[in-house]
Structure 1
């Protein structure tokens, strides 16, 4: 093999390494609104010898994903009979664009299938959206039931933080009601966000948000951040003593930060873990490919000199 062939091989190695690098960057740049917050799966799986439930579930998924291109909340019921009907809904965070809402919701059917399988009810919550479905006759739960919480590990007790946080909570509660279900704002370096399910009226929304805020105070104390998810609403806050990142109010901070968590269903950090694994695998594969290239070049050079 001549010098030109060796040169071509080295170019191939460099291009391949660049591709691995691009893959690594693409994995790490995944939008934070698609991070998995928690999942809730019913223990009972549905019996489906005729395939009616599967058809209804597939139709429901399709309808929800289609509607996510133009709405941040949609609820529907599918099925050929009342016994095999499935009611499902999705909701996107109020500050997501239509395109981001679609990108978020379109991931949920696959995630629900992977995380819960064909259970009679499922709820999957990402940072920016969630999907819920249940078959006809599934036992209803209170809208005030807490599904998941997470409290930041760091505390700021004794600094006046709790007073500022409680004032921010009051602003949030009023804002969610006047905003008819969604509100986000900043008060003295505390970013607060709240949202009610799209079909909840203002009065019930007010009660739900108040309940969630009280749980945040009781469960998380002086933690600098928290997320509280009730069945019909959720709230989140983060304190930034050095000022909000990215200029603050225009975009919500990433609530996927580390902290203690508790849930009535399984919780997961698989979104972050998945990206980490992908980066490690991509990097390892890239290094391995480079080593193979170098060994191949070495063998070719050795053969060339042996021929002489």
Structure 2
């Protein structure tokens, strides 16, 4: 008799727990976001002398301006300060990021610049989804074609026809970036490509920059399954997915080009684990619900 008294509350509790689990699991699958992941940093070896605090004020004003503009545009270039304290700076977000994602990405950069570089006269912080650079007026300029950073996947697929497939995708990328005025993504036979030029680079110069980046990727990465090449004025990334490029679910979840695995992208494994774990938990709750219903039915029949 006592068991019969608690069976309905138990059933209601399990029903609530089941619903709560569904609601909690749903956002976890799409929550993976890597656009704020640090790719590399570039810091001048020379720190600025700032006894009056003018450099710091100009730099702070620069950061504030860039951050406010990141809510509206994907690229912005400006200058703050006067005379010897003039500082030039810019930010750029990946072309597929939403305005809110762009703002969230850029908002990480000032803190990272201070943490990783300190008060240097020039700094460049590259995240997966955005980058920012600043330099004190008069800082030595470098070529737009100069390679700043590259990384290649640890897995090689030589002799599998991959390089021919990748090179064809590179050709599509080169023409696509130019015709799309600076940003382009493509998926060719399981090879995912992304390319972007700095926002103030013309179409012709952009095409040349991307072509140079492609050539460096071919030489530097060889038959690596993935790679990223960052030049001063452009960058490219690619990843090969033998099982097919994972479908994009949000602006922040494009396949990550630095993956060196031969399977799905790094986010996919985590997502699958969450889904499987959640399914197991939900399945267990379903069993408990069925058990509670059976108990209630036997109690009502008795």
Equivalent positions of 1:242-281 (< 5 A) are: 242-246=243-247, 252-257=254-259
> Root-mean-square deviation (CA), in Å?
2.2
After superposition, the C-alpha distances for 1:133-160 in whole angstroms (9 at most, x for unaligned) are: 0001100001011000000011111111
Contact 2:185 2:194 in 1 (8 A): yes
Compute the displacement of 1:246 (Å).
2.7
1:248 and 1:104, CA in 2 relative to 1: closer, same or farther beyond 3 A? closer
After superposition, the C-alpha distances for 1:221-280 in whole angstroms (9 at most, x for unaligned) are: 011100000000000000001011135998521234359xxxxxxxxxxxxxxxxxxxxx
Is 1:50–2:52 an aligned residue pair?
yes
For 2:140, the equivalent position in structure 1 comes to: 139
Q: Which runs of 5 or more structure 1 residues have no equivalent in the other structure?
A: 1-21, 260-308
Distance 1:248 1:181 in 2: 23
1:61 and 1:248, CA in 2 relative to 1: closer, same or farther beyond 3 A? closer
Equivalent positions of 1:165-244 (< 5 A) are: 165-244=166-245
Equivalent positions of 1:25-174 (< 5 A) are: 31-79=33-81, 81-174=82-175
1:170 and 1:258, CA in 2 relative to 1: closer, same or farther beyond 3 A? closer
Contact 1:87 1:136 in 2 (8 A): yes
Distance 2:221 2:111 in 1: 33
Q: Is the partner of 2:84 in helix, strand or coil?
A: coil
Compute the displacement of 1:82 (Å).
2.3
Q: Is the partner of 1:246 in helix, strand or coil?
A: coil
Q: Is the partner of 1:115 in helix, strand or coil?
A: helix
Tell me which moved more, 57-66 or 158-167.
158-167
1:30 and 1:120, CA in 2 relative to 1: closer, same or farther beyond 3 A? farther
Q: Which runs of 5 or more structure 2 residues have no equivalent in the other structure?
A: 1-23, 262-302
Distance 1:96 1:139 in 2: 31
Distance 2:118 2:258 in 1: 25
1:229 and 1:158, CA in 2 relative to 1: closer, same or farther beyond 3 A? same
Contact 2:157 2:225 in 1 (8 A): yes
Equivalent positions of 1:264-303 (< 5 A) are: none
Q: TM-score normalized by structure 2? A: 0.74
Distance 1:204 1:239 in 2: 27
After superposition, the C-alpha distances for 1:190-249 in whole angstroms (9 at most, x for unaligned) are: 000000000000111011000000000000001110000000000000000101113599
Compute the displacement of 1:50 (Å).
1.2
Q: Is the partner of 1:166 in helix, strand or coil?
A: helix
Contact 1:37 1:256 in 2 (8 A): no
Distance 2:236 2:137 in 1: 29
Q: Is the partner of 1:140 in helix, strand or coil?
A: coil
1:30 and 1:60, CA in 2 relative to 1: closer, same or farther beyond 3 A? farther
Contact 1:127 1:256 in 2 (8 A): no
Contact 2:239 2:256 in 1 (8 A): no
Greater RCO structure (CA 8 Å; 6+ sep): 1
1:67 and 1:247, CA in 2 relative to 1: closer, same or farther beyond 3 A? closer
